Structure 1
Amino acid sequence: MSLTENVAALMRRVAAHEVMPRFRTLATDEIAEKSPGEVVTTADRESEQRLSEGLEALGLGARIVGEEAASRDPALLDRVGEGLVWLVDPLDGTANFAAGHGPFGMMVALVEDGVPLAGWMLDPQSGRLCHAERGKGAWCDGARVNARTSGSARPVAALATQFMSTAWRERVHASARRRFAQVPIPRCAAESYPRLVFGSNDVALFQRILPWDHAPGVLFLTEAGGHATHWNRAPYRVGGEGAGLLVAADARHWEVAAELLLVPGGALIDMETRAA
């Protein structure tokens, strides 16, 4: 099998054996708080272990940086933008999973010197697998896909502002309301990016950009024809100095959002400067 097929098969096996059997069956002692407001489950830990073992067995010689390993040893992120690296999010949307509902997903990316080369996002509930390769395109369940917009008169925006201060968050949403219809975020990046490609959302905003949450999704979106940059308008890079992400189903919707949020004095740039 090709690398793409091997990784996809590995993810499906791990989802079938470690994730879905625990969905809605977690015991109290299988859910823990790893940081204030953030939970981890047995499914996260076991899935990351199985994924890491499987990726190691592929023999690429890439370092493996998983979400749970990095939570135990933050030094793993010190050189995440250097060399060949596997990024692993074994259970994206853990809070949803622990609460007994979706969406939740599994994400893997292969990155070289901070540039995503390939990415996979699996929805364990539906079996939907989104995949992209740098310079080669994006696929869903083996079919080539191109990003499409919602077609709504007021484009649809999902803004992940939950980690901002109250004042900052209110200003961002007030600015966005001038041009966009805002919808709740799915609290799962493995769902956020497909929504942009498949016409549910036109724009998304992220403040916290942990690499395993975004490397697969940004690659999938951009290879499908969407647009993504850091808030300083620089191209997305794992381990780089760029803050936040503004992403959209196409360049036109990105420009509309950027005019509201990324210009000098805008809701993001101005407040980011004040916070610095």
Structure 2
Amino acid sequence: MDALTDSVADLMRAVARDVVLPRYRNLATHEVEEKTAGELVTIADREAEERLNEGLARLLPEAGLVGEEACAADPARMNDLATGLNWLIDPIDGTGNFAAGRPPFAIMVALVDAGVTQAGWMLDPLTGRLCHAALGQGASIDGERVIARESGAALPIAGISLLFVKPEDRQGLIDRIEGRFAMADIPRCAGEQYPRIVLGTHDLAVFERTLPWDHAPGALFVNEAGGRVARPDGSPYRLGAEPGRGMLAAASPAMWDRAAEILYR
């Protein structure tokens, strides 16, 4: 896996250098589109996914390719994740930030076998930070092993977005949070939010929408670093035809249990 890990990282850095960063703060109006309500796609997303597809296919020809933009055009492609070996690609995570010319945004890749994430990579093109994890082998940042840690704040620091919470559930969630968590601004980029949990910036995060390209690399990264990411009922995050809703990520299993008791029980 080491040679493959390095090759994927090199490919992602090349795509960041050659495709993504030249478009950053340099997009023409016609190069940004709304693919669904509130969801943007740019020419850089499409070009980056194409380059990643080409490179990953050369690295592991037996694996399929499932990309965010390909699934936008054909949602049935997501079904492939439930069976067989597949690359899962998010060419630009945090496209809204990227299109607005502000950080953070990330390039994310995962290798998935029959719905289980085997390895994941998250690259911050602006800083060059690379987060990597492999199933059963731990997590690293820029090649150095990393262990998740809590912030140590009096109130756990929580990144919680209410954007996709059903209106009828929103006030109840707000009531449960009040006085129990210190709310932090969310980065609107899963490729940044998951590292914040491992690095002790945030203690936990709650995600309502859990599309696979947004969460497969980060969930594995936190779990392999010693934190915990799971569905609200405690079941593991698996990929497949059903995108599912709801996920809790925390810097430790104890923090996960504490947050789940407050938020879901």
Instruction: Output aligned runs, 1:78-89, within 5 Å.
Output: 78-89=79-90
In the TM superposition, what is the alpha-carbon distance from 1:79 to its structure 2 partner?
3.0
| Gaps in structure 1 of 5+ consecutive residues | 264-276
1:200 counterpart SS class: coil
Aligned to 1:125: 126
Aligned to 1:149: 150
Aligned to 1:258: 260
Q: What is the CA RMSD across the aligned residues, in angstroms? A: 1.2
Instruction: Output aligned runs, 1:30-41, within 5 Å.
Output: 30-41=31-42
The answer to whether the Cα contact below 8 Å between 1:232 and 1:243 also exists between their aligned partners in 2 is no
Instruction: Output aligned runs, 1:11-50, within 5 Å.
Output: 11-50=12-51
In the TM superposition, what is the alpha-carbon distance from 1:178 to its structure 2 partner?
3.3
CA–CA distance in structure 1, aligned partners of residues 130 and 37 of structure 2: 31
Report which stretch shifted further, 75-84 or 16-25.
75-84
The answer to whether the Cα contact below 8 Å between 2:133 and 2:224 also exists between their aligned partners in 1 is yes
2:132 counterpart SS class: strand
Amino acid at match of 2:217: P
Report which stretch shifted further, 236-245 or 14-23.
236-245
Amino acid at match of 2:36: S
Aligned to 2:250: 248
The answer to whether the Cα contact below 8 Å between 1:80 and 1:238 also exists between their aligned partners in 2 is yes
2:128 counterpart SS class: coil
In the TM superposition, what is the alpha-carbon distance from 1:56 to its structure 2 partner?
0.3
Runs of 4+ residues over 4 Å off in structure 1: none
In the TM superposition, what is the alpha-carbon distance from 1:243 to its structure 2 partner?
3.1
Residues matched between the structures, number: 263
CA–CA distance in structure 1, aligned partners of residues 144 and 231 of structure 2: 29
The answer to whether the Cα contact below 8 Å between 1:116 and 1:219 also exists between their aligned partners in 2 is yes
Report which stretch shifted further, 126-135 or 231-240.
231-240
The answer to whether the Cα contact below 8 Å between 1:231 and 1:243 also exists between their aligned partners in 2 is no
CA–CA distance in structure 2, aligned partners of residues 33 and 240 of structure 1: 24
Aligned to 1:136: 137
1:85 counterpart SS class: strand
CA–CA distance in structure 1, aligned partners of residues 134 and 47 of structure 2: 27
1:79 counterpart SS class: helix
TM value normalised by structure 2: 0.96
Aligned to 1:268: none
1:65 counterpart SS class: strand
The answer to whether the Cα contact below 8 Å between 2:80 and 2:241 also exists between their aligned partners in 1 is no
CA–CA distance in structure 2, aligned partners of residues 53 and 252 of structure 1: 42
In the TM superposition, what is the alpha-carbon distance from 1:240 to its structure 2 partner?
6.9
Amino acid at match of 2:26: T
